[in-house]
């Protein structure tokens, strides 16, 4: 590959100097921040033989190059004189993209805890309806505290992750959030007690700020601007005490007097916008959300709807949006199951079954990126089916009384917990079942291009290579996962090559074979190795861990080093990476898969380092 020529083609296709705000790279892709993504010639890039894929998500225009992305990046930097270009997010640009990027960064770290709490809350509702638990029993109250605590003190969790996003003191942000949900303040709000701050009236909503979203986000953003100013004024030796003191004394009253009411008004307006569409026609609202939800997910736009769900729950005690999304999620599972039934390709059948199961539990990335979207027709059938189910749920007025990951497990949360407020759970089940069946039957009838024939051709071509089989050693100790379950679409779709993923239990990455270190990032999160047999291996520790800038990683080797199987390559701190909000699931892919007859996974669920884990068939 001529890196200079590739860099020039990519640079011209994205619009050049006039359209590029910044450029950085990770282990596999060039990450552009563009002034106008519509200017970029996406189709031209996708047809480029040296470009694996183009991904537009979260305000970034990502051009997937592969393991030699660093060389292409450097070629662009050298050729275009970008050494002085800013690598931070541009100060101006698409407001929607910036909003989505902020929301996703803030909500993602505690999404698992929030989803678990929502499911638990739903099951507790089911348990009381069926008479399994009494609402005044100790067991119910303890479990309900576990389920409802996340939502009651949501501003505290939001403060912590928002402070990380806005690069300000996380513990001061949490202190501000704790003031917002302080029991005495909440009680005063509920009782309608008038409060004032040195004669200035304080406006409180009846529920106070528990479960609120926008007020604390505004507060932390203002804190991020105010804190550096305070640090400039206060001498270094006094900053430890005086900076936090000044921030609390200024920010907490400011939040109660101005930012909180402003956030509440903005939130009510945002929720009112969607609710006005719903009031105009619940069927149309359900049809749109059910049909296009997975499209929103693909482009990261789904995060823009998360605040609306929380605002509805906070304002009304229930949400009308989340139930509409369930048919869209399960329809993808129905289409994937049809692919598994109809395909003659053993790997695709296996992927179809596993991704159907993950879709039932609300994880659609493996389903969409690994099965339905690459085959195109199943994805379209699933979207249409999801729209039909969403319209039925809108018509029936189904409501959710807890938030969480949309899946089969959230159905109990559709049971009404508010006197006088009805929710048609039966119709939710029927509509979701209809969407699943329609997607399944529709995919069988419409069909798709089965890659089984292509697989046979590839194997035949492989016979011209030297025959034999080479087993690679596992570079990690941990739990083995299919590559399709990796949340990054480039890896899960197989665009980078075949392989597997490992969720490590020990923070040591070792060489899977004898060879040469061809790529190692200064951040330590990704290593490329070419074996003595010509197998090119990319090992990417975690998802988006490039953003840690090397924190928690220690590299032991450097580019060009010759290593033996089992040699230590990178040490990494699993707990520190998790604490920072990142996954450590590690894809290990053969980037030159097409040069071999096949790459076979060995049937393992748990593995230790230096144990056989992939077989390369030549």
Q: Is the CB of residue 251 less than 8 Å from the CB of residue 197? A: no
Question: Nearest to residue 610, comparing CAs of 536, 510, 481?
Answer: 510
Q: Is the CB of residue 53 less than 8 Å from the CB of residue 43? A: no
Q: Is the CB of residue 382 less than 8 Å from the CB of residue 335? A: yes
Residue located via tokens 């229930």: 318
Question: Nearest to residue 544, comparing CAs of 597, 584, 485, 498?
Answer: 584
* CA–CA distance, 555 with 561 (Å, rounded to integer): 12
Quick one: the chain helix, strand, coil %, rounded to 5? 55, 15, 30
* CA–CA distance, 458 with 438 (Å, rounded to integer): 34
Contacts 24+ apart (CB under 8 A), 275-284: 275/312, 275/320, 278/320, 278/394, 281/394, 282/320, 282/394, 282/395, 282/397, 283/391, 283/394, 283/395, 284/391, 284/394
* CA–CA distance, 40 with 491 (Å, rounded to integer): 23
- Structure token pair of residue 428: 């939710």
Q: Is the CB of residue 499 less than 8 Å from the CB of residue 483? A: yes
Helix (H) or strand (E) holding 206: none
Q: Per the residue annotation, which of 10, 20, 26, 439 is the catalytic one?
A: 26
Q: Is the CB of residue 565 less than 8 Å from the CB of residue 614? A: no
Q: Is the CB of residue 29 less than 8 Å from the CB of residue 64? A: yes
Q: Is 26 a catalytic residue?
A: yes
Question: Nearest to residue 485, comparing CAs of 377, 414, 339, 586?
Answer: 586
Residue located via tokens 């988006």: 544
Q: Is the CB of residue 229 less than 8 Å from the CB of residue 177? A: no
Sheet holding 29-34, edge to edge: 20-25, 29-34, 60-64, 53-57
Q: Which residues are catalytic?
A: 26
């Amino acid at each position: 590959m001529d890196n200079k020529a590739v860099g020039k083609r990519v640079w011209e296709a994205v619009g050049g100097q006039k359209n590029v705000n910044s450029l950085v790279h990770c282990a596999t892709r060039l990450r552009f921040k563009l002034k106008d993504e519509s200017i970029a010639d996406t189709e031209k890039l996708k047809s480029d033989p040296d470009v694996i894929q183009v991904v537009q998500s979260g305000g970034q225009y990502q051009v997937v190059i592969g393991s030699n992305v660093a060389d292409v990046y450097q070629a662009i930097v050298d050729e275009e004189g970008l050494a002085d270009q800013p690598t931070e997010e541009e100060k101006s640009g698409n407001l929607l993209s910036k909003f989505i990027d902020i929301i996703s960064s803030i909500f993602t770290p505690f999404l698992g805890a929030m989803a678990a709490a929502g499911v638990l809350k739903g099951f507790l509702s089911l348990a009381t309806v069926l008479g399994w638990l009494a609402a005044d029993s100790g067991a119910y109250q303890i479990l309900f505290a576990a389920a409802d605590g996340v939502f009651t003190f949501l501003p505290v969790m939001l403060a912590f992750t928002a402070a990380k996003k806005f690069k300000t003191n996380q513990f001061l942000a949490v202190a501000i959030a704790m003031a917002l949900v302080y029991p005495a303040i909440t009680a005063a709000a509920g009782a309608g007690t008038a409060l004032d701050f040195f004669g200035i009236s304080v406006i409180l909503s009846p529920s106070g700020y528990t479960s609120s979203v926008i007020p604390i986000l505004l507060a932390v953003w203002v804190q991020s601007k105010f804190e550096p100013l305070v640090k400039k004024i206060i001498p270094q030796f006094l900053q430890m005490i005086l900076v936090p003191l000044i921030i609390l004394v200024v920010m907490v009253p400011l939040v109660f007097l101005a930012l909180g009411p402003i956030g509440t008004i903005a939130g009510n307006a945002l929720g009112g916008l969607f609710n006005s569409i719903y009031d105009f026609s619940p069927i149309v609202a359900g049809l749109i959300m059910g049909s296009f939800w997975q499209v929103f997910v693909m482009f990261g736009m789904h995060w823009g709807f998360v605040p609306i769900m929380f605002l509805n729950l906070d304002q009304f005690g229930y949400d009308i949006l989340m139930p509409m999304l369930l048919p869209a999620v399960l329809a993808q599972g129905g289409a994937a199951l049809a692919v598994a039934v109809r395909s003659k390709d053993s790997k695709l059948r296996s992927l179809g079954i596993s991704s159907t199961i993950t879709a039932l539990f609300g994880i659609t990335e493996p389903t969409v990126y690994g099965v339905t979207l690459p085959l195109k027709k199943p994805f379209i059938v699933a979207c249409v089916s999801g729209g039909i189910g969403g319209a039925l749920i809108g018509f029936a007025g189904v409501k959710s009384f807890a938030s969480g990951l949309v899946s089969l497990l959230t159905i109990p949360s559709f049971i009404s917990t508010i006197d006088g407020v009805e929710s048609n759970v039966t119709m939710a089940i029927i509509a979701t079942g209809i969407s699943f069946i329609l997607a399944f039957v529709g995919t069988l009838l419409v069909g798709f291009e089965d890659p089984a024939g292509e697989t046979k051709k590839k194997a035949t071509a492989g016979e011209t290579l030297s025959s034999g089989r080479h087993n690679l050693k596992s570079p990690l100790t941990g739990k083995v996962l299919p590559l399709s379950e990796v949340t990054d679409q480039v890896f899960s779709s197989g665009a980078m090559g075949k392989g597997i993923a490992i969720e490590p239990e020990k923070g040591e990455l070792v060489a899977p074979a004898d060879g040469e270190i061809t790529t190692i990032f200064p951040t330590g999160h990704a290593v490329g190795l070419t074996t003595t047999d010509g197998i090119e291996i990319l090992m990417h520790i975690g998802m988006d861990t490039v953003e840690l800038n090397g924190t928690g990683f220690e590299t032991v080797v450097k580019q060009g080093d010759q290593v033996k199987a089992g040699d230590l390559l990178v040490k990494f701190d699993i707990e520190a990476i998790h604490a920072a909000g990142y996954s450590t699931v590690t894809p290990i892919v053969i980037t030159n898969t097409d040069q071999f007859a096949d790459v076979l996974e060995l049937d393992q669920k748990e593995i230790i380092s230096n144990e056989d884990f992939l077989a390369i068939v030549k």
